Each structure stands twice: as C-alpha cells, then as structure tokens.
Amino acid sequence: MEPYVFFLLFFALCGLGIVLSAAVDDRHASAIPAWISSPAAVCLLIAAGGILLSGHTLHIELWSLPYLGQLSITADRISALFIFVAGLVYLPVSIYSSEYMKKYRGRYSLKSFSIFYHLLFASIVTVFLAGDVVLFLIGWEAMSILAYLLVSYEHEHEENVQAGYLMLAMSEVGTLAVIIGFLVLGASAGSLGFDSIRAAGVNLTDSVRWAVFLLTFLGFGVKAGLVPVSSWLPRAHPVAPGNVSAILSGVILNLGIYGIVRVNGDLLPVASAGAGLVVLIVGAVSALVGILYATTDNDLKKMLAHSSIENMGIVTVSLGAAFLYKIYNHPDLAGIALIVAFYHMANHSIYKSLLFLGAGAVDNQAGSRNMNLLGGLIRKMPYTAFFFLVGALSIAALPPLNGFVSEWLTLQVLLQSAVLSAKGVKTAFVLCGAGLALTAGLAVTCFVKAFAMNFLGTARSRAAQKAVEIGAAMKASMGWLAVLCLLLGILPTYVIPVLNRTVSPLVHTSVVNELVPPFFTIKKQNAQFSKAFVSGFHDLGAQVGRSILPGRGLVVLHQGAARNPVVFAMSTAYTLVVLVLLIGGAFLLTSLLARKRTLTRRPAWDGGLRRLFADMTYTATGFSNPVRVVFDAIFRPTTVENAGETVAQHFRTAIGGDRYEIHVVDRAVYRPTTRCMLWLANRVSRIHVGKINTYAAYVLGTLLLFFLINWVW
C-alpha cells in the first residue's frame, strides 16, 4: 500500500485513542496508549520506512485558507527519517506507559494523560509532514502546549507548575523568533509554501539571510536544548513522568534539529562561513557545558537532562561542520557530516529513551532519584540494571554499541578539517574537536557514576532496600530499546546507505562509497581504490562474512584526499565477534582453572568491621567531586552555611556546609541581561512625572520625529 494510507491510518488511530480515552473509565485509561499508540507507531514505521527506502515524495494538498494560502502535507526522506525515529521511540514508550501510569490512579486523571498523549503524538507528526509555514506552525504550537500539559501532569506540586511554565515561556519566545523568520521568507517568496520559499531563497541578500538564520537558529535551538537557551530542559525533566521524559528527549528535542535542518539546510541553506561557525561553536559549547553539569548532578533525571543538552550539542557540531564543508566546496565531507549528525540524533533518541525509562523504573520502585540515596539495586532489579547498563555503555560511546559509531565518526569528521584553506575556520575545528574529546571523556565518568551509584554497592536508604523488579511491559519496552542500541552499533554499514539517500538532496552528491566501500563486491582493481589499498584491507579481513551477509560489507572507512590522506576505518561488527571470543575464552579458561582448585567462601573483610554501613560507602557527590574541583571556575559554588560537629572524643570535628551553584549560562547571560533591563526600565520610568503637559510634549515630539524620518527616507 501507498505510504499515505498508513499516515491516514495513523491519524485515525490517534483520533480513536482520544475518543476511547474520553469514554472509558479512568482506571482503564492507562492501557489505551499500549493498545492504540503502539499500532499507530507501527503505521509510522511502515510509512516512513517505505519513503526512506523508495525515495518517493508524498505531497497532498489540503485546504486553501484566505490570506494564508494552501495547506499541504509533504513527506520527503528528511521528514521520513525523523518520523521513523519518532515511531521507534513511541512504540516502546507506549507499551511502558500501560504499566508505569498505574501509580497515578486515584491521584491524577489518567484519561487526561491519555488524551494529551495521543494529541501530542499527532501534533509531532504534523510538524514533520507540514509542507507550508501555516500547518507547520499550527502543529508546532499544539506540540508546545501539549508538551507543557504533560510535563505539568503532577500539577499539585508548585515546582512542577513552575518548570512547565518556564518550558512553555521559552518555547513561545523561540516560536516567535521562528514566526518572524518565516514571515521574512514568505514575504520574499510571495507564498508560505515550502516549495515557493525554497525557490525564492536564491534572490535574498546576505543581510536578510543572516537575519533569517539567527532568528530560526535561535528559535529552533530553544526546542533542541542548545546553550544558552537550554535552561528549561534540566528543570522540566525531573518533574515530568518518566515516560514523558523519554518522549521529550527522544522525540521533541529532535523537532529543534529538524527545524534547523529544514530551514538552514534545505529552504535557505547556510551560505556564510560565519553562520556555519556559529552553529559549530554553539554545538561544542552546548556539549561541554551539558556534560559538565551532568557529571556533577546527583538527581538521576536531571543528570540525564543535562546529558541531552550534551548530545544535542554533538549533533549540532556535525551540522555546523556540514554547513562549513559545503560552503568551502567539499560536498563529500558535507554529506558525511550530515550522515553523522542524523546517525547520532537517532542513536541519542534510542539510548536516552532507554535511560529515561530506566530512571522512571528506579524512581517508581525505589522511591527516589537522588543517587546518594540509592545503590545496590542490581540485586533487587537485575533486568532494569542490565538494560540501564546497555544504555549507559551506549551513551558513553563504548563499542560495539551505537553511541560509539556516531561519536567516533563525529571526531573523524572534525579531523578532516585539514583540507580547508581558511586558518581561522581550521582553528575553530581544532578547538571544537578538543572540546568534544574532553566531552567524551567526561561522559564515561558521568555514566560510570550513574550506573555504579544506582545499582552497585549497598543500598543507602530503606526505600532502595525494599525495591522490587518492574513488570513485564516495562521490561519488554526497555529490552526493545536495548536491542536497538546493539543493532545500530554493530550494523552501521546498513544504516549509513539509508542516511546517505536522505542527505544526498541537501549536498547534491552521494557519499556512500566514501564511508562504506563495497568490500563484499569490490574487484581487486577499482577506479576509486587502488589494488594495493583493496588487497591490504582484504588481508585484514574486510571480506569476512561475505558468503552469509548481503550488502556492501562491514567496514566503515574514509580515505582522505591528497591534502589529508589519512585513512580511518572501523568495524563494530568484527569488534563484537572479537569481544565475544575474548570474553568467552576467558570464561572457559577461568572455569577450567577453577575446577582444579578448592573454592572457599568467607565473609568479606570490611576494614575490621563486621559489616559496612551505607553511610560509610562512596556517594555520588564524592564520585563527582574531582570534576567539581577541576572545573571550579565554571561551577563557582557558593557556601551559604558552615557547621561543625564533634563526632567523638578522639576524632576531629566534622565540618559540613550547604552549597549552591548558579548555572554558568544564568551567570554569564541571563543575570547580566536582567540587570541591564532593570537598569533601563528604571531610567525610562523617570519620564513618568504625572503632568499632562509633559505627556502631550512627548506625543508631539514623537510625531515630529516620525515626520522627520519619513522626510529623510
């Protein structure tokens, strides 16, 4: 069947879900997302997958509105990719919700949640399918309001309401900037259709291009959670239900990336190196700032929210690199950079959704998100611990999981900047690459802490001691995402050709041979690769698996140009085989040696103590303290109270202090801006003297000023 049939079926299912949610009893409403949204997500996967593989573009004209033009639905490979990723996330989250939402029975309306959940799903897909500005903005505004309603679901807590308002307020500011940018584009095109805007973009002046770029990059950057407009993200995630947090990071953040790509990469491609540098640097700063705060935060969901800022920064770095390579006439590198950006975006959606579902399970079963109060959960919740470990290894970019592929390729893309001639741009690439390398190292530290403090050691609270494993629906959802983390990690040579077909219209070239050489089909002599090059990789095993697997091969490889002839290559599929053999061999060897020895079990020696108390173990605060010390200039904590306490007669006095931190973005951007606005407001307030004659003089002076400007103009 045609893709539009499945899209129609999707919207019909969302409508059915809304009607059923309103009709059924509240205690049964929690099951509706699993029964309705899950098949709706499958419809999206079929429709979007068909467009990705076939390349056919879907275009349906809807209604013609007075003064606003024709509303239309359009689905190309770019929108299909984002829809496909949304379907991959919504499917397990919907199944997870059927069990997770039971804890809200009798406290909050499950019917309202289910209605908002289905409406949000439909509005997100509407944004991706919009073929004109009006339908895009209708879907965008609906999505923003519905996301606010779901984040504020537990509305009896003032903190939740404030976080929701902050998210909505920042979203509306970003939307206003986007609207102005679209109006500028629509005025130049004489139409609000994307096709007309795309055709008219070549006639715009540089100043107009810059204005549109800044407005749309700022506006969409709010939704993507980029610094300095990311303040809403670490406040919204901790207060939202766990399944909503997964949708926020796994789907809604992608809307910001989609907006940047659609406007700045498609409708009005970035044509200035300065604009490309802005994207590159904002991405690098977002990644570094995000991971610094993620490493030091002890709230599990807040830590994951800061990590989302980091990952959106990594995606944006690749987008900036793609824009710059395209500007400097390196379309092949631009295509590779875009593939890497989309790959990492998809990877982040999968493993961050898995981690947020794991965080929701921990919060639900252990009653806390504070990692200082958790620990030892691997014995109480082994399945949750295993799936969370898969997500943690993925986001820490360890092979053979998916995070390794896209982060490794991101660093390789930045290293290819040696081909550029502009020294300033190359310097920016080097600095951003160094920042991402530091980010990658801190990410490992961050998620070693996240897993160890939650699941290893001993429980540090009674609630953690009493935790029990989650139910089958929640385990199945996390298991699905964990399998995807593995598949996207070991099969990049099957993912990259699909992404190549997605980015080819943006860079006007195919780069699949530049990244996935066809070692399964290549001849000894090839126009692109020399005989010695092909033979060398064949000797290393690039053809292993040829007889049992279809496709181009299992090696991701790029051979640089004459200016930078470095070859980088990797194969996570072969890495997995080697890891299995090494671990299996070590296990067999250990088992054989153990048979020849007598194993004696005795109580562990805990420093001479009969048992190790929970408050004597390493805490999350202690684990991340070295990062706080090293980056003290960024965190700049303030101690508001010091207290001394004598522990015992022969021990030193214990000193405790309450400390708080002002986020570096608040300190560097928002607080100075607020002080400036208050100063200006105080100065302007002096014109209020309470005299009618003075106010009349103001009016007369304003009229004279307008007449003068009109005459000069």
Percent pLDDT > 90 in the chain is 55
Inter-axis angle of helices 423-455 and 620-630, nearest 10: 160
Report which of residues 630 and 215 the model is more confident about.
Answer: 215
| Number of alpha carbons in the 13 Å side-chain half-sphere of residue 155 | 11
pLDDT at position 319:
96
pTM of the model: 0.92
- The one-letter code for the residue type at 370 is N
d(CA 568, CA 572): 13
d(CA 84, CA 342): 12
**234's tokens:** 């670490």
Domain annotation covers residue 554: yes
Contact 270, 276 (CB under 8 A): yes
Q: What is the rounded average pLDDT of the residues 297-321?
A: 94
pLDDT at position 422:
86
Closest CA to 439 of 467, 496, 488, 397: 397
Closest CA to 366 of 460, 474, 467: 467
Domain annotation covers residue 188: yes
For CA atoms 260, 264, 265, 268, give the dihedral sign. Answer: positive
Conformation bin of residue 652: beta by default, left when phi > 0, alpha when psi is -120 to 50: beta
Domain annotation covers residue 89: yes
Asked whether residue 641 carries a pLDDT value surpassing 60, the answer given is: no
Closest CA to 447 of 403, 389, 489, 404: 389
Compute how many other C-beta atoms are within 10 angstroms of the C-beta atom of residue 672: 11
Contact 555, 571 (CB under 8 A): yes
Size of the chain, expressed as the number of residues it contains: 713
Asked whether residue 522 carries a pLDDT value surpassing 80, the answer given is: no
Q: Cis peptide leading into 400, omega within 30 of 0?
A: yes
Burial of 662 (0-12, 13-18, 19+ CB in 10 A): middle
The region of weakest confidence among 83-87, 284-288, 350-354, 467-471 is 467-471
Asked whether residue 126 carries a pLDDT value surpassing 90, the answer given is: yes
Task: Give pLDDT tens digits for 164-173.
Answer: 999 999 999 9
Asked whether residue 693 carries a pLDDT value surpassing 90, the answer given is: no
pLDDT at position 701:
86
DSSP secondary structure, 639-672, as one string: EEEEEEEE--TTSPEEEEEEEE---HHIIIIIHH
d(CA 377, CA 364): 13
Q: What is the rounded average pLDDT of the residues 72-82?
A: 93
d(CA 315, CA 344): 6
Closest CA to 153 of 195, 100, 112: 112
d(CA 356, CA 246): 5
Return the biggest CA–CA distance within the chain. 105
The residue written with tokens 């964990």 in the block is 482
Q: What is the rounded average pLDDT of the residues 124-150?
A: 94
Query: Which distant-in-sequence residues (6+ apart) come within 8 Å of 283 by Cβ?
Result: 226, 312, 313, 314, 315, 316, 317, 318, 319, 320, 432
Contact 145, 207 (CB under 8 A): no
**Separation of first and last alpha carbons in the chain:** 60
- The one-letter code for the residue type at 207 is S
Going by pLDDT thresholds of 50, 70 and 90, the confidence category of residue 65 is confident
Domain annotation covers residue 137: yes
Closest CA to 244 of 110, 357, 387: 357
Instruction: Based on DSSP, count helices (H) and strands (E) in the chain, helices before strands.
Output: 30, 6
pLDDT at position 202:
83
Domain boundary among 573, 598, 614: 573
Q: What is the rounded average pLDDT of the residues 68-77?
A: 88
Domain boundary among 202, 218, 241: 202
The region of weakest confidence among 103-117, 291-305, 615-629 is 615-629
Cα→Cα distances 384→451, 465, 471, 686, Å? 11, 15, 10, 62
Mean residue pLDDT across the chain: 88
Going by pLDDT thresholds of 50, 70 and 90, the confidence category of residue 629 is confident
Task: Give pLDDT tens digits for 133-144.
Answer: 999 999 999 999
Asked whether residue 599 carries a pLDDT value surpassing 80, the answer given is: no
How many separate domains does the chain show?
A: 2
Opening angle at CA 360, ends 355 and 362, nearest 5: 95
Contact 431, 437 (CB under 8 A): no
Going by pLDDT thresholds of 50, 70 and 90, the confidence category of residue 561 is low
Q: Look at residue 565 and give its three-state secondary structure.
A: coil
Residues of the domain holding 542: 512-573
Domain annotation covers residue 131: yes
Contact 284, 432 (CB under 8 A): yes
Contact 528, 83 (CB under 8 A): no
d(CA 466, CA 38): 32
Closest CA to 446 of 585, 267, 662, 300: 300
Asked whether residue 642 carries a pLDDT value surpassing 70, the answer given is: no
Asked whether residue 550 carries a pLDDT value surpassing 90, the answer given is: no
Burial annotation 209-239 (CB, 10 A radius, 16+ → b, else e): bbebbebbbbbbbbbbbbbbbbbbbbbbbbb
- 294 phi and psi angles, rounded to 5 deg: -65, -40
- The one-letter code for the residue type at 396 is A
Task: Give pLDDT tens digits for 245-274.
Answer: 999 999 999 999 999 999 999 999 998 999
Task: Give pLDDT tens digits for 92-108.
Answer: 999 999 999 988 888 88
d(CA 513, CA 511): 5
Q: Look at residue 631 and give its three-state secondary structure.
A: coil
Burial of 102 (0-12, 13-18, 19+ CB in 10 A): middle
pLDDT at position 666:
80
Contact 524, 531 (CB under 8 A): yes
Domain annotation covers residue 628: no
Domain annotation covers residue 49: yes
d(CA 158, CA 144): 20
Q: What is the rounded average pLDDT of the residues 358-373?
A: 90
- The one-letter code for the residue type at 469 is E
Domain boundary among 554, 573, 592: 573
**195's tokens:** 């096709």
Domain annotation covers residue 344: no
What is the enclosing helix (H) or strand (E) of 532?
Answer: helix 531-539
DSSP 8-class letter at 61: E
Closest CA to 305 of 284, 285, 291: 291
